[in-house]
Amino acid sequence: MRIDVYPSLLGLEPTRLEGRTAIAIDVLRATSVIVTALANGAEAVLPALTPEEAREVAAGLPPGRFLLAGERESRLIPGFDLANSPREYTAGRVAGRVIVLTTTNGTRAIRACEPASAVLVGSFLNAGAVARAAAGEQKPVAIVCAATRGEFDLGDVAAAGAIVAGIRRGFAPGAEPELNDLARAAHDLFDLHRKRLGELLAGTRHGGGLERLGLGGDLPRCAALDSRPVVPWYRQGRITLVP
């Protein structure tokens, strides 16, 4: 098996994903939000590229069944029900609902994974569960970091490393998957910081920006390794827990 980690969507040719299991990661905060929403009983998350697209998708859903959600500049979009903080996605708010979600980088990364043969949504919260599901697909794995406006994001790469470590654990010594250089670096980065993931996130540019907006309480939520062991699958416009 082969595992490649890609730092952002920049230069990521769709053909690199064909025939592979793709895992999209946006630790701060879109994929942490999606994992939290589905773990708390949301029926599905529909990732949209823009607020306009999200409103159009929602217009086709039965009233009362959906919530419009997402952020621009990390803040609530006017007229939307939820922003992009995992703390908002409680069971009371999301259980049984379809969430139409648009975020700056995360939903874009998920949609960019469409050429892959299967698409999973990963984060620290579900790293071990996603690693096992990806290994079970028995195809080369492409881990796609959303990054922050194309800029390398340490949190995304560390979460990619947690997933690489999880996949490697399933292989006998000497028969481990082949890793590209960023997959190796991600694995070592995760290993170095695994006991201090919250601090790692707080030290990133995006994490610091969230703290300045008064959203620092999201960082420990997004750093809670294997706290939500669910496997979100993206297929035909919907993310659900059904493979």
- Which residues would be at the binding site for ligand MLT (CB under 6 A)? 26, 28-30, 71, 74, 84, 103-106, 146
Instruction: Give yes or no for a cis peptide into 97 (omega within 30° of 0).
Output: no
Compute the distance between CA of residue 202 and CA of residue 214 in angstroms, rounded to an integer.
12
Compute the distance between CA of residue 215 and CA of residue 154 in angstroms, rounded to an integer.
18
Q: Smallest distance from the beta carbon of 198 to ligand MLT, in angstroms?
A: 15
> Nearest CA to 35 among 243, 226, 198, 173?
226
Supply 26's token pair. 């946006």
> Nearest CA to 109 among 83, 158, 143, 80?
143
Nearer to ligand MLT, 30 or 100 (CB): 30
Q: Smallest distance from the beta carbon of 135 to ligand MLT, in angstroms?
A: 27
Nearer to ligand MLT, 147 or 179 (CB): 147
Q: Smallest distance from the beta carbon of 27 to ligand MLT, in angstroms?
A: 9
Q: Smallest distance from the beta carbon of 106 to ligand MLT, in angstroms?
A: 3
> Which residues in 148-160 are b (16+ Cβ under 10 Å) and which e?
beeeebbbbbbbb
Nearer to ligand MLT, 28 or 127 (CB): 28
> Nearest CA to 142 among 160, 129, 165, 162?
160
Sign, CA dihedral 216-9-145-156, equals: negative
Compute the distance between CA of residue 156 and CA of residue 48 in angstroms, rounded to an integer.
20
Nearer to ligand MLT, 4 or 88 (CB): 88
Nearer to ligand MLT, 36 or 74 (CB): 74
Supply 208's token pair. 């610091």
Q: Smallest distance from the beta carbon of 109 to ligand MLT, in angstroms?
A: 8
Nearer to ligand MLT, 21 or 103 (CB): 103
Q: Smallest distance from the beta carbon of 168 to ligand MLT, in angstroms?
A: 27
